């Protein structure tokens, strides 16, 4: 089945692009916007609407495979590719990507996605991660349709895996609205919650006291609002490096003492702490995460450490997993470029006995979330992020419903490999 055309359209994401540098330098929030001048190249204001590009691959039988190009909320920060503005990148897709794909057989997701991931521009640079991300989604959909398979079944066939027959744990994120959004999560019975967005000392507390108080509140709130008896979600809280700021990024004993307090406050609920420190470089981050994990493991503290910052690419995920730098690693799907890299990152983590959290960003689309769910079901990720947006209900619905559709179709023998 040949690819005969490629069509692009400009779209919006479920959140915003935020100039992280300006925010860290003290930009003042004013309702849903920030006042002040942007500091990261490409930004016209500190917060601006997220943009996406829908890529539609047309097959010779008239079927269409499609995906959405999207980039993370903090684009242009931490070594990431620049701000992803649709008008700037549509011409690249319509020329460079289209010329490579049109006329090819839609016969292999891994082959075609790998080729797109390796394409370079006139200066020898890889295409923007968002382009590789969205185009690979469209390739996956197109090849699956050409072969009469569900996307998850195509991934499973090409990687030799078995599609999950049950719902994967969905992790919901609250943003700053960490109290009322937690209620939404509990009411929906979310398996993993609440994110929390403890991204400043003022939020976490000078000695971590505010986070301790929040965990205490959250435990009682689950008991008060639980949708059914026996509901026991995992508490997964993102600390954005603030624990290291308070106690010292290489003070493993001091951080472990604090995590032990959090563990006791959360009990009987299991606790995960994402991004306890930000050590300023990939090497330093790996070292400090590994050191903290060793300290809490030796002391029998049952808190899982989740790697996030400085672990952006497939190569980074392999590096952190090889060094046991985190009990779980967030695999940030847009930052890995082609979606086949996400599949390989999850499989590598599982091979190494490290938790594989297939994450992403609030600044994605419904379509990228759906395609990610197919990949997660195919490679059996340990946890998936509810995305896009920060409203909880919409993102949880998109991910939960896509899993349910997959399970229902496969139970009826639709889109699966025939014996």
| pLDDT tens-digit series, residues 104-142 | 999 999 999 999 999 998 888 999 999 999 999 999 999
* Between 39 and 76, the higher pLDDT residue: 39
Average pLDDT over the chain reads: 96
| CATH architecture group of domain 170-411 | Alpha-Beta Barrel (3.20)
Which superfamily is assigned to 3-149 in CATH? Enolase-like, N-terminal domain (3.30.390.10)
* Residue 24 falls in the annotated catalytic set: no
Model confidence band, residue 5 (pLDDT cutoffs 50, 70, 90): very high
Contacts (Cβ under 8 Å, ≥6 apart) of 127? 92, 96, 97, 116, 119, 120, 121
Q: What is the pLDDT of residue 122?
A: 80
Q: What is the pLDDT of residue 78?
A: 67
* Between 76 and 59, the higher pLDDT residue: 59
Model confidence band, residue 326 (pLDDT cutoffs 50, 70, 90): very high
Q: What is the pLDDT of residue 72?
A: 92
Break the chain into its structural domains and give their ranges: 3-149, 170-411
* Between 162 and 418, the higher pLDDT residue: 162
**Cis peptide bond N-terminal to 194, omega within 30:** yes
Question: What do you get for the CA distance between the two ends of the chain, in Å?
Answer: 22
Structure tokens at 83: 């701000």
Active-site residue, selected from the candidate residues 332, 352, 387, 418: 332
Q: What is the pLDDT of residue 77?
A: 76
Angle at 345 between CA 399 and CA 147, to 5 degrees: 65
Does residue 355 contact residue 349 with C-beta atoms inside 8 Å?
yes
Model confidence band, residue 418 (pLDDT cutoffs 50, 70, 90): confident
Helix residue ranges per DSSP H, 278-365 = 282-298, 314-322, 339-351
**Cis peptide bond N-terminal to 268, omega within 30:** yes
Q: How far apart are CA 135 and CA 89, in angstroms?
A: 12
Structure tokens at 316: 């980074």
Q: Residue 353: is its pLDDT beyond 90?
A: yes
Q: How far apart are CA 246 and CA 263, in angstroms?
A: 18
Q: How far apart are CA 260 and CA 302, in angstroms?
A: 8
Model confidence band, residue 28 (pLDDT cutoffs 50, 70, 90): confident
Q: How far apart are CA 327 and CA 246, in angstroms?
A: 22
Q: Residue 21: is its pLDDT beyond 90?
A: no
Q: Which of 50-59, 198-207, 215-224, 377-386 has the lowest mean pLDDT?
A: 198-207
Q: Specify the 3-state DSSP secondary structure of 249.
A: coil
């Amino acid at each position: 089945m040949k690819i005969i055309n490629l069509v692009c359209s400009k779209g919006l994401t479920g959140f915003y692009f935020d100039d992280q540098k300006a925010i860290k330098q003290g930009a003042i929030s004013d309702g849903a916007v920030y006042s002040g001048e942007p500091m990261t190249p490409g930004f016209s204001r500190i917060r601006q609407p997220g943009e996406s590009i829908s890529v539609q691959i047309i097959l010779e039988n008239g079927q269409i495979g499609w995906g959405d190009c999207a980039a993370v909320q903090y684009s242009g920060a931490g070594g990431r590719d620049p701000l992803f503005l649709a008008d700037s990148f549509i011409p690249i897709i319509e020329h460079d990507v289209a010329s490579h794909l049109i006329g090819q057989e839609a016969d292999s997701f891994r082959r075609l996605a790998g080729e797109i991931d390796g394409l370079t521009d006139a200066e020898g640079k890889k295409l923007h991660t968002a382009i590789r991300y969205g185009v690979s989604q469209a390739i996956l959909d197109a090849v699956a349709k050409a072969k009469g398979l569900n996307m998850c079944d195509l991934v499973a066939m090409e990687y030799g895996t078995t599609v999950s027959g049950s719902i994967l744990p969905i992790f919901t994120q609250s943003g700053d609205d960490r109290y009322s959004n937690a209620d939404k999560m509990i009411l929906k019975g979310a398996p993993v919650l609440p994110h929390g967005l403890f991204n400043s000392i003022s939020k976490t507390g000078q000695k971590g006291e505010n986070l301790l108080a929040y965990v205490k509140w959250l435990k009682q709130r689950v008991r008060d609002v639980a949708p059914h008896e026996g509901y026991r979600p995992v508490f997964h809280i993102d600390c954005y490096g603030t624990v290291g700021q308070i106690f010292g990024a290489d003070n493993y004993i001091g951080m472990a003492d604090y995590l032990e307090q959090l563990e006791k406050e959360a009990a009987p609920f299991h606790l995960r702490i994402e991004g306890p420190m930000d050590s300023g470089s990939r090497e330093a981050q790996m070292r400090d995460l590994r050191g903290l994990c060793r300290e809490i493991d030796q002391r029998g503290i049952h808190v899982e450490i989740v790697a996030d910052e400085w672990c952006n690419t497939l190569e980074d995920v392999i590096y952190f997993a090889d060094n046991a730098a985190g009990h779980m690693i967030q695999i940030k799907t847009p930052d890995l470029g082609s979606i086949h890299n996400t599949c390989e990152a999850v499989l590598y983590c599982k091979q190494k006995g490290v938790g594989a959290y297939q994450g992403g960003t609030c600044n994605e689309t419904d379509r990228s979330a759906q395609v990610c769910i197919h990949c997660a079901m195919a490679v059996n990720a340990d946890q998936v992020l509810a995305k896009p947006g920060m409203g909880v209900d919409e993102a949880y619905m998109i991910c939960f419903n896509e899993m349910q559709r997959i399970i229902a179709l496969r139970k009826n023998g639709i889109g699966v490999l025939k014996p």
